[in-house]
Structure 1
């Protein structure tokens, strides 16, 4: 009975051993200079023709179109060194089907050197080559940064790590990678814009982008004063400057991805460009023999031919200004959306009750921000919040402790005609206010985007695109509020729902109808009973 399983086990074991031997021999043959030679030759075969200009408003890109991205001889040499560095770090030829070359869109991208089928990996890079927040904590910076950063964000730590390695020059282990990262002039992130341009952008969006930009700079200046100036042997003063930090932040925000619950910036992967039609992002996957290690993978969501540019999605739900903030461009398909902030008024007679209800439902603050999108209904939680906000004296009974555990649920549905009308009016009025806060009218923005204003810079065109996108979302929400207000009489409210629950919403039965003499008779009985 046991002979057949034993024989099967021995057969499987022999097959596994032979497979291991074959793999090791094949790997040994493939190692060495094969991958390096392949990359160098494919790079040199390209004549580095200048990128054809195209509008940043119409094509997805990472870089500004005002920058010429034709590859100079020095950049070509740096790319060759970078590719050899990748090979030396274990990026094998059988795990890469793309090469870093000039992109037809803009800048550099990943061009397919082999046919790639849907579902196959275009590249897999060992996760050990990624830089993360932990990379910074493994340097001498750690003891000085602990407790000194009020915003110990992953992005900030990655940016500081880039500067630390940059300060080491050629001695840095990632020097070949640093040498091929885009320069400040090749990036278009708002953190690198002038103060005047950032101020104009702040007036072009409902998003608090200016606050985010200011906080990044202030955080660095605090660190500079409290830590860096006291330890110049660790924080090289020539490298750790505000201008360089802003460059590093622009690099990190535009070239890193969340993979396996970590923000990672990965060599080679960071060259992949955005495609609005793509539905995949870089992910983590096993790699190496029998999946013994883990890598950052670029997986194809369609078939690619040799010479095609391989692209992924940078995120389908980002708004126009979020794309601009993070990546320095706005894709054509970016959803028309904006932000709206609502809060509970401290002067509200029922402020304490409403605060308690929100806290019990895991709201951290009494001021909340929601996204509004064109041609989409507002977020249901926004309407819940507004109904609670507008509860007044007539409906205040629902705020009593008796209902405290269920009041938030009741706010998910229309509560009373007056309350629903007030909630819709608050939302509409705020949208109207935001519409009037923009610095330019619709006609001016249309002329800028149509190219009828030759004095408009590329960055002003981007800001016009942001305004048009956000105005569309606000106008759509206003129209939704007006439509809902016309149907207030058709909605079902709290009283009707309670009557239904108690089966008191139907017509009266004969047993429930009393004639006048019935009331007189009942009254006389009550009186006689009382005597």
Structure 2
């Protein structure tokens, strides 16, 4: 996190780490599992040995009418641990599983349960977390065989030790992880005080912070959020499916109305294979095309080697101490932004739309402040899309470059050192840390290079006053002031 205050009266900007939104899911299934140990992995096309708990879970699915001899997939062991394996050749977009709504774990399931009434005022994710913890402790839970195959923790950075987290020194992922952990702790303390302790009949056994983190991690890593009318739902069996970067679409999950048993109809979660598969292949989906590597590490505990997944978030803020705060905020809000704006910079991609205008707005002051007058209110954003003045452009370049320099100094390794480490065989969590910090540093260098190039072009740029004079016919194409007006410039 780096705070930057431009050396300009009334113009301040703040750059800080990624803000945390508890369940602002971007759309796809959230999921990753710590691998269960297996006795062996059979050859392709044969039965794959899995832990006994998985066999019991499969039998439960049969008894519930979820699977049958026609089901084309079954739990099996693969490179990622437990996943879903094709029992026959599967065509692209072929339905591989369907799970009836009565087995979904979602806010509706909580509302229909014994704790539904006391959880009615909670955020949906908190209600589901309490439901997961309570159902896991019950011997007669409908989902007891499902809970028996869930990991004790995921690979998410929220479960990393202090030593492991130290490898993320300087990264935005570290600050985000610590913020998430503190947020979860505060929510636990509040729910414990308001819900758990006053309702000991419903929660006879004490709930620990570790159990709360377990349920939070399970929910964050396994919930689907793309279904119609469903923003947060865990679907046993479907959540065994693993992620692959080879899958480049994320439109594989559907909610349909269909047969959910011999004599019953229900909403079904339907999952299609995005790839054509041979018998024995593992079935994969794409968790989320829009998540950065840092988000993948936080949610699931893995990253992709693809550099295009790397991102760095610039957080810009209009300072309340800015004498033009009210005007700037009004302009920002009129153009879809607020007092604080977040811009994700991705590797080898152009700067995101709105970044430069917002930067110029935040830095606006001095002789450029006339643009904040109400007469320009409907046109100012268009003016901010282009350089306003040399002073303004020079300021934003200097501030951004100083921010990059400060952020790069916070890492305890260089890019070259990280690249050497990557060549060695690393523990999975260390490999994630090295990949994240290398990616962030490459992006900071990329951002610095962009604004360094802009600095070199300052003398060649066309600024507002020159554009205005041209519009009035008072300035030639070469920037020369025409007629007697030239005496005043």
TM range (shorter): 0.7 to 0.9
Question: Which residue in 2 is equivalent to 1:80?
Answer: 55
Question: Which residue in 1 is equivalent to 2:203?
Answer: 235
> What is the distance in 2 between the residues matched to 1:506 and 1:249?
64
- How far the C-alpha of 1:101 sits from its partner, in A, is 0.7
Question: Which residue in 2 is equivalent to 1:376?
Answer: 349
> What is the distance in 1 between the residues matched to 2:231 and 2:395?
44
> What is the distance in 1 between the residues matched to 2:156 and 2:180?
13
Question: Which residue in 1 is equivalent to 2:103?
Answer: 129
Match of 1:225 among 183, 193, 202: 193
Contact 1:384 1:408 in 2 (8 A): yes
Match of 2:134 among 156, 164, 174: 164
Match of 2:214 among 247, 262, 274: 247
Question: Which residue in 2 is equivalent to 1:278?
Answer: 247
Secondary structure of 2:357 counterpart:
helix
Question: Which residue in 1 is equivalent to 2:269?
Answer: 296
- How far the C-alpha of 1:271 sits from its partner, in A, is 0.4
- How far the C-alpha of 1:494 sits from its partner, in A, is 2.5
- How far the C-alpha of 1:197 sits from its partner, in A, is 3.7
Deviation string for 1:212-268 (max 9, x for gaps)? 121012211222233312222212424x21111111112111222213242221111
Question: Which residue in 1 is equivalent to 2:223?
Answer: 256
Aligned length: 437
Contact 1:165 1:175 in 2 (8 A): yes
Question: Which residue in 2 is equivalent to 1:464?
Answer: 434
- How far the C-alpha of 1:63 sits from its partner, in A, is 4.7
**Which structure has more helix as a fraction of its residues?**
1
> What is the distance in 2 between the residues matched to 1:513 and 1:398?
26
Q: 1:478 to 1:203 in 2, by over 3 A?
A: closer
Match of 1:475 among 445, 450, 459: 445
Q: 1:513 to 1:316 in 2, by over 3 A?
A: closer
Name structure 2 gaps, 5 residues minimum.
Answer: 1-30, 42-47, 485-489
> What is the distance in 2 between the residues matched to 1:370 and 1:340?
5
TM-score norm. by structure 2 comes to 0.80
Contact 2:158 2:180 in 1 (8 A): no
Question: Which residue in 2 is equivalent to 1:96?
Answer: 71
Deviation string for 1:380-404 (max 9, x for gaps)? 2121111001112111111011112
Q: 1:492 to 1:293 in 2, by over 3 A?
A: farther
Question: Which residue in 2 is equivalent to 1:178?
Answer: 147
Q: 1:408 to 1:513 in 2, by over 3 A?
A: closer
> What is the distance in 2 between the residues matched to 1:457 and 1:300?
31
Name structure 1 gaps, 5 residues minimum.
Answer: 1-60, 515-531
> What is the distance in 2 between the residues matched to 1:361 and 1:226?
40
> What is the distance in 2 between the residues matched to 1:316 and 1:172?
35
Secondary structure of 2:344 counterpart:
strand
Contact 2:80 2:242 in 1 (8 A): no
RCO higher in structure (CA 8 A, sep ≥6): 2
> What is the distance in 2 between the residues matched to 1:413 and 1:513?
27
Match of 2:298 among 325, 328, 335: 325
**Does residue 341 of the first structure (1) align with residue 319 of the second (2)?**
no
Deviation string for 1:318-353 (max 9, x for gaps)? 222211110011122252212222222333332232
> What is the distance in 1 between the residues matched to 2:73 and 2:392?
59
Contact 1:112 1:310 in 2 (8 A): yes
> What is the distance in 2 between the residues matched to 1:287 and 1:94?
22
> What is the distance in 2 between the residues matched to 1:497 and 1:297?
57
**Does residue 209 of the first structure (1) align with residue 184 of the second (2)?**
no
- How far the C-alpha of 1:97 sits from its partner, in A, is 1.3
Question: Which residue in 2 is equivalent to 1:421?
Answer: 394
Q: 1:277 to 1:243 in 2, by over 3 A?
A: same
CA RMSD of aligned residues (A): 3.1
